[in-house]
Amino acid sequence: MRIRWFKLLSLMVGLAVSAMFYGHYYTSLVTSNRSLHPGTGPHSIFKGSNDSQHTIRTDHERKSDKKTAMTLMKSIADLKLHADSVCHTSLRLRVQNDFYFRNLFNFDIPVLMWDSYITEDTRKNLSQRPVPYGWKDLPLEDVTSTLQLLNDSANQKLFDWRPPKGCVRCAVVGNGGILNGSRKGKEIDDHHYVFRLNGAVIKGFEEDVGTKTSFYGFTVNTMKNSLIAYYEYGFTETPKGQGLRYIFIPSDLRDYVMLRSSILGVPVPSGTDKEDKPSEYYGPEATAKKFKLLHPDFLLYTMESFLKSDILKTEYANLYMPSTGGLMLLTALHSCDQVDAYGFITSHYSQFSDHYFERTKKPLEFYANHDMMLEMHLWSKLHKKGIMTLYQR
Ligand SMILES: *[C@@H]1O[C@H](CO)[C@@H](O)[C@H](O)[C@H]1NC(C)=O
Ligand SMILES: *[C@@H]1O[C@H](CO)[C@@H](O)[C@H](O)[C@H]1NC(C)=O
Ligand SMILES: *[C@@H]1O[C@H](CO)[C@@H](O)[C@H](O)[C@H]1NC(C)=O
Ligand SMILES: *[C@@H]1O[C@H](CO)[C@@H](O)[C@H](O)[C@H]1NC(C)=O
Ligand SMILES: *[C@@H]1O[C@H](CO)[C@@H](O)[C@H](O)[C@H]1NC(C)=O
């Protein structure tokens, strides 16, 4: 009789543990299409718990009450451990509770792309759309040979190291002039993960922008332009470091070719960046593990759901895409439990310089390929709805 009771309770505890583990994993870690990867998604974790559950149950059939009680205590200890790691205030919950944003967010969309996407279905789909939303007109060989190298489990998830307990807190740092004199550096560094992009100058601005960089995001075009345009302000090299990961935005063939050369550790063989040495950008020790590639479907989704600009109705339509900062912020919004944005455009932008590192005030420059006003309204709305915080003053 008692064994039965224990069996039932143990089963319930086991299920609760599985469910909570599932919940945490779902809310904070998985950023890509899980069904593609039986090895990494919450389903496999659920199955794992289910499998061990199965072992516990068969054990019970043979072993004493005492042993059963110990198993149960262990299960309860596990349960407590996992309870501590659950995020109760996850961004996803806040989105689900928001009448407007719950119709825009799709957390099932894959954020990243890696070798498992070399399939006929994906090829058919993406060959119909030009960059950055697809592979149309790109030599398939260049795309495929790049994807083949993204075969490490680290390529499949944004947070492939030290996953923190509880809510995953991310800071995304744009380069806006609003950060000049902000003294937000310590607060930024206090996040689990810090995203930076393009001309992210740190030296001399530590008090305002912090020093930690977990992710550096760019297109090869924006990265190289930043090195040229902001060299005089101290952006003399791209951020580097052991714990730093690079997020490639595939906006052109250049990005695929540079990424492939970076992983192989060879000079770029052809194209716009011919003979560039990737180690100068990403360090000599760069392996596949250091690189993430945004999925073209994710880029399409961010544009269609959040940033469908009127520019698309003009002659500049095929130049238009969300800004690098916008894409990093949306990546964080689809991956973290808490997102705080710094250095992004606000309605008071005219009071600040274009970038925080300029020495004399320069007005914000608008380019035809981005819609900064639309992005400004989006960040403001996400802030007002409590889905993220936007640093404003
Ligand atoms: C759980 O385990 C049972 C029996 O071992 C199995 O039939 C079932 O498919 C498993 N469920 C999942 C979700 O893995
Ligand atoms: C995920 O992959 C499955 C097939 O593996 C597909 O049916 C589904 O549409 C994909 N989901 C997304 C959001 O791409
Ligand atoms: C094809 O692209 C659409 C977006 O247009 C996406 O929703 C869908 O999941 C993709 N299908 C495959 C098989 O990749
Ligand atoms: C990835 O592919 C490379 C080259 O094909 C191979 O050497 C390496 O062992 C693979 N890594 C994994 C984790 O499968
Ligand atoms: C940055 O702030 C300082 C003082 O807070 C000010 O003197 C300087 O002009 C600002 N720089 C720009 C480019 O606005």
| pLDDT 10s digits, 104-143 | 999 999 999 999 999 999 999 999 999 999 999 999 999 9
Ligand nearest to the CA of 263: 4
* Rounded Cα distance, 393 and 381, in Å: 16
* Rounded Cα distance, 150 and 50, in Å: 30
Query: For ligand 2, is residue 110 a contact (CB within 6 Å)?
Result: yes
CA of 52 to the centre of ligand 1 (A): 10
SS3 108: coil
Give the tens place of pLDDT for each residue, 225-245. Answer: 999 999 999 999 999 999 999
Probe ligand 2: pick from 32, 33, 114, 121, max atoms within 8 Å of CB?
A: 33
SS3 341: strand
SS3 of 354-377: the string is: CECCCCCCCCCCCCCCCCHHHHHH
Contact 304, 330 (CB under 8 A): no
Helices (H), strands (E): how many in the chain? 14, 7
Name the residue type at position 371.
D
Query: For ligand 5, is residue 182 a contact (CB within 6 Å)?
Result: no
DSSP class of residue 289 equals G
Question: What local confidence, expressed as pLDDT, does residue 69 receive?
Answer: 60
Distance of alpha carbon 98 from its chain centroid, rounded?
Answer: 22
Q: What is the mean pLDDT of residues 341-354?
A: 97
Tallying the residues shown for the chain, one arrives at 393
Q: 25-34, 52-61, 314-323: which range is least confident on average? A: 25-34
**Residue 137 region by backbone torsions, left for phi larger than 0, else alpha for psi between -120 and 50, else beta:** left
* Rounded Cα distance, 123 and 130, in Å: 12
pLDDT reading at 344 higher than 50:
yes
Q: What is the mean pLDDT of residues 18-47?
A: 33
Element at 99 (helix H, strand E): none
Residue whose Cα lies nearest atom 3 of ligand 3: it is 297
Give the Cα-Cα-Cα angle 248, 249, 254 (nearest 5 degrees): 85
CA of 233 to the centre of ligand 5 (A): 14
CB within 8 A of 141, min separation 6: which ones?
A: none
Ligand 3: which atom is nearest the Cα of residue 121? 13
pTM for the whole thing? 0.77
CA of 30 to the centre of ligand 4 (A): 22
CB within 8 A of 75, min separation 6: which ones?
A: 10, 13, 14, 17, 56
Probe ligand 5: pick from 178, 180, 356, max atoms within 8 Å of CB?
A: 180
| Residue 107: both structure tokens together | 């957390």
Q: How far apart are the first and last CA of the chain?
A: 66
Structure confidence at residue 64 as a pLDDT band (50, 70, 90): low
Ligand 3: which atom is nearest the Cα of residue 33? 9
Contact 371, 310 (CB under 8 A): yes
- Strand runs (DSSP E) across 213-266, as ranges? 215-218, 245-248
